[in-house]
Structure 1
Amino acid sequence: MPQPDQPRADRPDRIGNAAADLLTITMSRPASLGPGRVICVDGPAGSGKTTVADAVAGLSGSPVIHMDDLYAGWDGIAEGIAQFETILTPLVEGAAGSYRRYDWHRGEFAETVLVPPAPLLVIEGVGSGAAAYSDLRTALAWVDAPPQVRRARGIERDGDTFAPRWDEWAIAETDLFAREMTAARADIVVLTDD
């Protein structure tokens, strides 16, 4: 639920407006990754995080890292968040960061992906708003929708791959968000309920 001092984007053009508002908030703050900044777009599965992140990237020309590439499989949210150490810490020093991309078809980590320094980096996905990295994050967006809407989107997007794992994933992300108080720490809340 949005806090009173958080902008709430809930108009029909809310994604574009939210992206613009998020960029305004971000650019009004000091750089947090050496000379660069990072926006994290967090929220439950199927909420529209990728859509919001893509809108920000479209307005800013920024690269986007997807947490789906960082998780160590269906039980790997913590391992995905841990990869922030090799992504963000080098960027603070002006060096390239990196992460191991998870290959979901093979069920193992694949190649190492370099993340060069950039004026703005966008990271989207469950856990991207991890409190342990708050000092490196410039801005945080929370994206949400009703559970039935999110589930329908997730199953439509990923089909049979995600359907048997939906409930298990939902429990893991709910536990993470409660522990991290992610929504309460967000700079902007985006509701994508239609």
Structure 2
Amino acid sequence: MPSRSDDPFARALDEAVVRINAAVRAVEASNPVVLIDGRSGAGKSTLARLLAERWPLRGTPQLIALDSIYPGWDGMDAGSDRAYDQILRPHGRDLVGTWQRYDWETGEYAENHAVDPARGVILEGCGALTPRAARIADVRVWMESPEPSRKRRALDRDGDLFRPYWDRWAAQEARHIRRDTPIDLATLVVPVP
């Protein structure tokens, strides 16, 4: 098994965590909000998990994946809106937020989850970084990766579950990128091979 230093993807994520942690510390707040956006397969979930494990501040951040909020395969915009209304806006006002997990198997929203305004938030997923979310977030990350690499990683991860929806989801990503220009809103751009 190759070491992390031999794996360009793992090395890029490790370097990104170091950069993001420096940005989090520079905020000088106990409850910063970090948004991680990028197209499918860019490594958002892995980066967010690593960041949560290596969080540079006291306490544990609240890690929330937009995959848990999107209402199905056509729900990128709706998931982004719900995350803003239920997580980011209350947190920015020092209020407890509550978001509901979407159950992909039943096609319905399920249990509620509270968001503590005293703790940091890591929100990851395509559609996380929009102009209104950028105004609330302390650290804004855009992950940039070539399509062949992204597609390989996404389909290796989700296989036949995602394969029939790749183009449909990619069209929503493209619309988000055209409309919201998340790379321009980012405080950090993370290149991933």
Residue 74 (structure 2) pairs with residue 75 (structure 1): yes
Percent sequence identity over aligned pairs: 31
Please give the secondary structure, in 1, of the residue aligned with 2:27. Answer: coil
Map 1:45-194 to 2 at 5 A.
Answer: 45-60=40-55, 61-83=60-82, 84-193=84-193
TM-score (norm 1): 0.86
Per the TM alignment, residue 94 of structure 1 is displaced from its structure 2 partner at its CA by 2.7
> Which structure is higher in helix share?
2
Distance 1:56 1:118 in 2: 18
CA contact (8 A) 2:130 2:185 kept: no
1:17 maps onto 2:15 in alignment: yes
Q: Which amino acid aligns with 1:41?
A: I
Structure 2 alignment gaps of length 5 or more:
1-7
| Kept in 2: contact 1:40–1:123 (CA 8 A) | yes
Counterpart residue number, 1:37:
32
CA-atom RMSD, angstroms?
1.8
TM superposition shift of 1:119: 3.4
Aligned equivalents of 1:20, 1:120: Cα separation in 2: 17
Deviations 1:117-174 (A, max 9, x none): 2432100000111112222100111112111111111111111111000011111101
CA separation of 1:29 and 1:103: change in aligned 2, threshold 3 A: same
CA 1:71–1:112: 2 relative to 1, 3 Å: same
53-62 or 89-98, larger mean C-alpha shift: 89-98
* AA aligned opposite 1:67: L
- What secondary structure, in the 3-state scheme, does the structure 2 residue paired with 1:119 have? coil
Offset at residue 12 of structure 1 (A):
6.5
Residue aligned with 1:135, SS:
helix
For residues 90 and 37 of structure 2, the distance between their equivalents in structure 1, rounded to whole angstroms, comes to: 22
